[in-house]
Amino acid sequence: MLAKSKVVVVMPAYNAAKTLHMTYAELPRDVVDLVIVVDDGSSDETVRIARDLGLELFVHNRNYGYGANQKTCYREALRAGADIVVMVHPDYQYDPTLLPEIIRPIEEDKADIVLGSRLLGAHPMSQGMPWWKYISNRFLTWLENRTFHLRLSEYHTGYRAYRREALEAVNVEMNSDNFIFDQEIIAQFVQLGLRIAEVPVPTRYFPQASSASLIQSTIYGLSILRVLSEYWLHRRRIFRMRRFESLQRRYRNGSALPEASQKV
């Protein structure tokens, strides 16, 4: 019998006090071995609630950004011995009960990365996705598929699972500290030829769920164009970028925490 994979859920949190408990409560405890919350300088009660729930908690001393939050999440998950790392946003937008479906392709050795897609299954606009966000998602996904030579339904989900070896193979520290981190790490995986699978996930849209504004989404879209251009230039050896090179070294247990975060 194969040994059970150690599954670590990471929650990049920022002002998630209203939804953190709901998200955590629906995680399947028989599957998840550890939950890590990284608070990115919240001004609400996120830290207190995470502490009351008994979660593994790391706190940034200020708001560094979504990408910086993920860097700490993955660093600490690998340090904790995770075989599979699952990012679940603590805003309760994605269904935590679907986690077994998210990790199954990795456990069955059919994928190295799994994306929970909002574009598979029920139409996202019927679930509350704004029309302008849906259209931009479709356009950017089409462009990304053309660039990466893939056929994914979307690249912009906050529900993701990674095999340990996939995270160890790419240099996440060279990626942005902002929202474009999600697309940079996908470009790194594609460059290394890692296997990406998708699982349909319904989403919830409500006031407490985090959602980017039109201006933020526009900046995000333009940043994706930059990442795709950099990937294209690197792929064709016109301009090499270290960020897309394979990372040979492995994370070592016991390395020091960055000054920006502390375990509490």
CA dihedral over 129, 133, 135, 141, signed as positive or negative = negative
Distance CA 123, CA 235 (A): 34
Q: Which residues pair with 94 in a beta bridge?
A: 203
Residue 56 lies in a domain: yes
Residue 259 lies in a domain: no
**187 in Cβ contact with 146 (< 8 Å):** no
Domain span holding position 33:
7-245
| Burial state string for 20-31 with b = 16 or more CB within 10 A and e = fewer than 16 | bbebbeebeeeb
Residue 1 lies in a domain: no
Please state, in angstroms and as integers, the Cα–Cα distance from residue 246 to each residue in 37, 50, 130, 177, 183, following that order.
Answer: 28, 35, 37, 20, 17
Residue 256 lies in a domain: no
Write the CATH number for 94: 3.90.550.10
Neighbours of 93 (CB within 10 A): 25
- pLDDT (0 to 100) of residue 133: 74
Residue 260 lies in a domain: no
Residue 49 lies in a domain: yes
Side-chain half-sphere of 58: how many Cα atoms within 13 Å? 25
pTM: 0.86
Plot region of 54 (φ>0 → left; ψ -120 to 50 → alpha; else → beta): left
Residue 64 lies in a domain: yes
- What are the pLDDT tens digits along the chain (264 aa)? 356 899 999 999 999 999 999 999 999 999 999 999 999 999 999 999 999 999 999 999 999 999 999 999 999 999 999 999 999 999 999 999 999 999 999 999 999 999 999 888 666 666 667 766 778 888 999 999 999 999 999 998 999 999 999 999 999 999 999 999 999 999 999 999 999 999 999 877 655 555 566 677 778 878 999 999 999 999 888 888 888 887 654 433 333 334 445 555
Q: What are the residues whose beta carbons fall under 8 Å from the beta carbon of 160, sequence distance 6 or more?
A: 86, 87, 102, 113, 114, 115, 116
Residue 251 lies in a domain: no
What's the structural domain count of the chain? 1
- pLDDT (0 to 100) of residue 216: 73
**Backbone angles phi and psi of 21, in degrees to 5:** -65, -40
256, 23, 138, 122 alpha-carbon torsion, rounded to 10°: 150
- pLDDT (0 to 100) of residue 214: 64
- pLDDT (0 to 100) of residue 221: 79
